[in-house]
Amino acid sequence: MPELPETETIARDLHATIAGACVTGLVVLRADVLRPPVSTRAATARLRAKLRDRTITRVWRRAKSVVLSFDDLWHLVVTPRFTGALILDTPGAPDDYACLRLQLGDERELRYTDVRRLGTVAFLDAEAFAQWSERLGPEPLDPEFTAERFSGCLRGSRRAIKSVLMDQSRLAGVGNIYANEALWRAGIRPARRASALTRIERASLHRELIAVLREAVDARGTSFRDYRDAFGARGGYASQLKAYGRGGLPCPRCGTALMSSHSIDARATVWCAACQR
- The span from the CA of 112 to the CA of 84, in Å, is 7
- 208's CB contacts (< 8 A; 6+ apart) are 182, 185, 186
Question: Which of 102, 78, 77, 75 is CA-nearest to residue 89?
Answer: 102
CA distances from 153 to 50, 61, 147, 165 (A): 38, 20, 10, 9
Question: 216, 5 in Cβ contact below 8 A?
Answer: yes
- The span from the CA of 174 to the CA of 3, in Å, is 6
Rg (CA), the chain: 20
Catalytic positions are 2-3, 64, 267
- The span from the CA of 3 to the CA of 168, in Å, is 11
- The span from the CA of 123 to the CA of 84, in Å, is 17
